Each structure stands twice: as C-alpha cells, then as structure tokens.
Amino acid sequence: MKTTISEQNGQMIVTFIGALDTVASNQVERDLAPLFLRDDCDVMLNCAELKFISSSGLRLLLNIYKHVRCTGHSLSLTGLQTGTELYDALDLAGLFQLFNLKK
C-alpha cells in the first residue's frame, strides 16, 4: 500500500495505491499524520488506484471525515468506478452519504 499527500490550489490530495487492509491501515494512518495536523484546507481522497478496503480502512476514512468536518472544510472522493467491489463496499458502509463524490 502506498499513500501520497500533495497540495494543489489550497486543497490536500491524498492518493491511495493498493489495498487498504488491516495491516496497511496502521502505516497509512502514520503516513497521513500531516493531514491531521492541518485545519486550513479541503481534502480530496483519490481512490482511482485503491483496489480493496477492509473495515480498518473504512474506520480510517471515517476518522479523516471527522477531522475535516470539524475544521469546517469539505472532503471528497474521486476515482471510484461504479460496479466495483470497492464502490459497493463504500456504498454498503454508507460513506456516500458523508463524502462528496467527484469523477
């Protein structure tokens, strides 16, 4: 699992590459430490190359959501393909009601 954080036009962009499973979620949470230190920008999660997400990964997404919403900023998901297992998992978890979906 690889996670990158970049900033573009005042927005933090987090890109997930690989499988966000139980083993990887601990490392990804450490990788995202700079994101949790910020409270001054919107956040976009790029999931175009995310292949799998476990319940630990879902918990991490919820923690990101809580942090961003507490700061008064928006959080969006991009790169999701309808009809995939990843899309279905996020839908079943009810995350589409929380996140803005972008193409």
State pLDDT tens for residues 2-52: 999 999 998 999 999 999 999 999 999 999 999 999 999 999 999 999 999
Report angle CA 71, 75, 77 to the nearest 5 degrees.
Answer: 165
Across the chain, what does the average pLDDT equal? 94
Nearby residues of 63 by Cβ (< 8 Å), 6 or more positions away? 29
Q: For the chain, list the strands marked E by DSSP.
A: 2-8, 11-20, 42-53, 75-78, 100-102
Nearby residues of 49 by Cβ (< 8 Å), 6 or more positions away? 15, 16, 17, 18, 79
pTM reported for the whole predicted model: 0.92
